[in-house]
Amino acid sequence: MDPRAGTPAQPSDLIDVDAVVGAYYDRTPDLDDPAQRVVFGTSGHRGSSLDGAFNEAHIVATTAAIVEYRSAQGTDGPLFIGRDTHALSLPAWQTALEVLAAAGVEVHVDARDSWTPTPAVSHAILLHNGAATSQGVRVEGPGLADGIVVTPSHNPPRDGGFKYNPPHGGPAGSDATSWIARRANELLRSGVGQVRRVSAETALAADTTRRHDYLTAYVDDLPSVIDIPAIRASGVRIGADPLGGASVEYWGAIAERHGLDLTVVNPQVDPRWSFMTLDWDGKIRMDCSSPSAMASLVRMMQGTAGTAATAPASAPYDLATGNDADSDRHGIVTPDGGLMNPNHYLAVAIQYLFSGARPAWPAGAAIGKTLVSSALIDRVAAALDRRLLEVPVGFKWFVPGLLDGSVGFGGEESAGASFLRTDGTVWTTDKDGIQLALLAAEIQATTGRSPSQLHGELTDRFGESWYARVDAPATLEQKATLGALTPEQVRSTTLAGEAIGAKLTAAPGNGAAIGGLKVATENAWFAARPSGTENVYKIYAESFVSADHLARVQEEARGVVSDALG
C-alpha cells in the first residue's frame, strides 16, 4: 500500500494531456517489442501511447481487422460505437470512424457527440438484434449489429483501450479476439498506410454514419429491469458519483426522467482526473471497488467531508454509488458500512433477486459467478436451491446464459455484473454498473435495509469470510507453466490445516480452462492466475475462519504454486 493511497492527487500525479495525445499520433510502435503489439485481454486491447502500446497505428490496424472479421462472420448490420472520457478515447474513436467509413460500414455514433457507457452500447446492439421482442435476440443472419467501445475501463488516465462486442452484445470471445489481434499485427507489420481511410470530417458527414440516442434508449428502458416506481415512492436519497466517467450525463437524465431523489455528487469531467484520490499503489485509477480510489465519496457518506465547521452531522444520502470510466463497474457506499466489498454486494444482490423479487424469471435460471468470487455466493445459491454456474475469469462466459435466460445473474469479483429484465429476458450481455447501482437503491427501497445491513444478515446465517487478492512475482516462463498446470502437479494434500477437497484447473460450471489453479478446502480456498500484463501472478484467497487464517492460506498458496512450478 502506497503511503499516499486515499489522499487527493497532486499536480505531479497528473498526466500531460497534450503529450499523451501527441504520442498517439507521433509514435510508431516497435513490433519487435511484444508489449507494443496488439494484444486482447479479457476486456480488449489496452496500453499507453507513451509506451508505444496504444497509438494511431494500433487503432487503424485493429479497426481494419474488425472490418474483415465482421465481414467474414456475415455481420452486415450497423456497428454501434461508444467512447469514454479518457484522453486517448476521442482520438481513437475518430481513427476508428475514419477506417469504418472508408470501408462502407454503417456506424451509429452518439447523437449528443458525447460519451457512451459500455452497457448502453451492449443495450443498443441487443435491441437492434431483437431483445425485448417476441422473436428474441438473433446472433446470426443478415442485418445483425455489433459494436466497439473505446475505453480502458478503470485504468489510469495515460491509458487507452479498444474492445469489440459481436452481435451477442457482450465481450468478444477468444476465438474472435485472437483472430482480430493476429490480423491487426499482420497489418502493422505490412504497414497501416495500405488501410483505406477518409478524414474525420468526411467520416462524420458520410451517409453511413448515423446518429443514435444511446442515452434516451437506455434511460427510458430502465423500468424494465429495475423497480423504478419503488425507488421513487420510497424517497431513497441517492448520491451518484460517475468518477469523471461516461455515466456523468446518464445519472442526471435518470434523476429527471424517473423523478428520483438522486444527486450527481461530482459532475466533473477531466481527462487528468485531478479530483481523484490515489489508488492503493499511488496511481490515479477510477476503480469504484477500491476504498482508496473511492475515499472522497466514503468520507462524504461518513459525514467527514469539508471542514469541521461545515461537515454534515449525518450522511447526506441514504446510499451512494460510483462507476468506473466506462460505467461497467459499480461501487456501493452505505452510511453504516462504508464501501462494500464487491463480493459482499454480489451476494446481497443474488439473495434479493432470487428470493421473490423477480417472480417472472425462469424457474431454472442459474446464478453465475467467476471462480475467484466469494464462496459466500456458493452458500447463498445452495440455500436458494439454485444452480451455481462457476466459470473462469471473464464476463464473456455469462453471455450465452444471459441471452437465453438460463442464467439470471452473472457477476465478477471485480464489481462487474448484469442480470435479466423483470420479464426474464436479456438486458445487457456486458457488465452494467448503472444497473447494479440502481439495484442497490431498489433493495433499500423495498426492504427498508441497506445492502450492508443485509450482508450482515447473510454472515449471521452463513458465516463471516475474509477475502483478499495479492500479487507475487513470476517470470514469463513461470506464468506459462502456471497457465498450463494440471491438478496432478499439485502435490500438497492440506491447506492451512485443512484437507484439500478440490484441485481445479478447469471451471466446474462449463469445463473451460481457468488458465491457472484453484485449490479448496471446507472453509477456505485460493486461486492463482498469471497476469496478462505484468510479470506477476495473482493470488485470490478466502477464509471462513479468520483474518489470520486467510494470511496463512495466502502464505501456503505461494508455497503450493512455487512447488508446482518447480
Q: Considering 163, 183, 217, which residue would you say is the last residue of a domain?
A: 217
Q: Is the pLDDT of residue 539 over 80?
A: yes
CB burial readout 472-483, b (16+ within 10 A) else e: eebeeebbebbb
Please give the average per-residue pLDDT across 284-293, as a whole number: 96
Confidence bin at 121 (pLDDT 50/70/90): very high
Is 97 part of any domain? yes
Domain-terminating residue out of 217, 249, 272:
217
pLDDT digits (tens, 9 = 90+) for 187-225: 999 999 999 999 999 999 999 999 999 999 999 999 999
Q: In the listed set 217, 244, 270, which residue is the last one of a domain according to the structure?
A: 217
Residue 197 located in a structural domain:
yes
At residue 560, the pLDDT reads 84
CATH number at residue 115: 3.40.120.10
DSSP category for residue 8: B
Task: Give me the CATH number covering residue 543.
Answer: 3.30.310.50
pLDDT at 304: 53
190 within domain boundaries = yes
State pLDDT tens for residues 10-59.
999 999 999 999 999 999 999 999 999 999 987 789 999 999 999 999 99
Cell numbers at residue 439, please? 439495484
pLDDT at 505 over 60: yes
The reply to whether 332 falls in a domain is: no
| 359 assigned to some structural domain | no
d(CA 344, CA 459): 9
pLDDT at 286: 96
What is the pLDDT confidence band of residue 473, given thresholds at 50, 70 and 90?
confident
Whether residue 303 has pLDDT greater than 80: no
pLDDT in tens, 219-251: 999 999 999 999 999 999 999 999 999 999 999
How does residue 312 score in pLDDT terms, banded at 50, 70 and 90? very low
249-281 residue pLDDT tens: 999 999 999 999 999 999 999 999 999 999 999
User: Residue 530's pLDDT is what?
Assistant: 87
Going from the C-alpha of 282 to that of each of 7, 157, 409, 469, the distances in angstroms are: 9, 13, 34, 17
**Nearest-angstrom CA–CA distance, 508 and 391:** 7
Q: Which residues form the catalytic set?
A: 153
Q: What's the Cα-to-Cα distance from 472 to each of 302, 466, 540, rounded to whole Å?
A: 34, 19, 11
* pLDDT the model gives residue 293: 97
Contact between residue 120 and residue 53 where contact means Cβ atoms under 8 Å apart: no
For residue 72, count other CB atoms closer than 10 A to its CB: 10
- Summarize pLDDT for 408-466 with one digit per residue, the tens: 999 999 999 999 999 999 999 999 999 999 999 999 999 999 999 999 999 999 999 99
Residue 313 has pLDDT above 70, yes or no: no
The cell for 438 is 440502481
Q: What is the pLDDT of residue 531?
A: 78
Question: Residue 134: inside a domain, yes or no?
Answer: yes
Are 68 and 183 in contact by the 8 Å Cβ rule? The answer is yes
Q: What is the model's pTM?
A: 0.95
Domain-embedded: residue 433: no
pLDDT tens per residue across span 474-495: 888 888 888 888 888 888 899 9
> Residue 194 carries which DSSP code?
G
pLDDT of amino acid 306:
40
Mean pLDDT to the nearest integer, 73-101:
98
Which pLDDT belongs to residue 479? 86
Q: What is the pLDDT of residue 347?
A: 98
**Which of 411, 371, 369 shows the shortest CA–CA distance to 519?**
371
Instruction: Please give the pLDDT value at position 472.
Output: 81
Structural domain count, the chain: 2
What is the rounded CA–CA span in Å between residue 109 and residue 111?
6
Residue 507: which domain range? 466-565
> Largest Cα–Cα distance in the chain?
68
Mean pLDDT (the chain, rounded): 94
Residue 309: pLDDT band with limits 50, 70, 90: very low
- Per-residue model confidence (pLDDT) at position 308: 33
Residue 475 located in a structural domain: yes
